[in-house]
Amino acid sequence: MSTTSTSEEVKDNTSREDEGDAPNTKDEDKSNENLLECNICLDTAKDAVVSLCGHLFCWPCLHQWLETRPNRPVCPVCKAAISREKVVPLYGRGSKKQEDPRNKVPPRPAGQRTEPDNNFSGFGFGDGGFHMSFGIGAFPFGFFTSTFNFGEPRPNMPPHGTPQNMEEQFLSKVFLWLALIFIAWLLLA
């Protein structure tokens, strides 16, 4: 056993010298290699995936583990909950084969790409108040004015107690009374 490992070490050293990577000490190299080992087969991870708890596996290894115990899917290292959907594949740059690993059996789950937030908040309902306006005017023009406010988000209410808030409250009351007077006038006239 020990003889084979020494011969491997010797070979490793010579190949590194050929490449001219002298400054790396052997220990550092070793620990770096261990970092990329699959936690199941203990070999360098192929078709690597990483769990949400941060543990690295070959996808075929992890797939087989999940198949072995379908009713208790836990991380083989820390026993956190794990599932096919909740692992992230790792795509390195320097892979020689360009084929899609997902075409292989078992298929590796796809990466999860979340869209960035774009501040679209529905039809103005989401921000706390339903908001509709209408107007009265001659036919073609009135059609344009009496619409729902689609798309445009309503500016948020200013915080309570600020002068702006008081002003807005006052204005909305004034317009409400104006509208009521207007309707009353229409009915009476």
Partner 1 sequence: MANIAAQRIKREFKEVIKSEEVAKCAIKLELVDDNYTELRGEIAGPPDTAYEGGNFLLEIKVPETYPFNPPKVRFMTRIWHPNISSVTGAICLDILKDQWAAAMTLRTVLLSLQALLSAAEPDDPQDAVVARQYKENLEMFKLTARHWTNVYAGGPNVNPECDEKIKRLIDMGIEEHQARVALSSYNWDLERATEQLFS
Footprint on this chain of partner 1 (rule: CB under 8 A): 1, 5, 39-43, 55, 61, 64-65, 68, 72, 74-77, 79
Compare residues 45 and 124 and give the one whose CB is closer to partner 1. Answer: 45
Compare residues 76 and 153 and give the one whose CB is closer to partner 1. Answer: 76
CB of 97 to partner 1, least distance (A): 21
CB of 160 to partner 1, least distance (A): 54
CB of 65 to partner 1, least distance (A): 5
Sheet holding 48-51, edge to edge: 56-58, 48-51, 87-89
Tokens 């190949």: give the residue. 15
Compare residues 1 and 138 and give the one whose CB is closer to partner 1. Answer: 1
Alpha carbon distance 150, 99 (integer Å): 46
Please give the structure tokens belonging to residue 151: 């798309």
On whether the CB atoms of residues 146 and 134 are closer than 8 A, the answer is: yes
CB of 2 to partner 1, least distance (A): 8
Alpha carbon distance 149, 68 (integer Å): 55
Compare residues 63 and 108 and give the one whose CB is closer to partner 1. Answer: 63
Please give the structure tokens belonging to residue 164: 């702006």
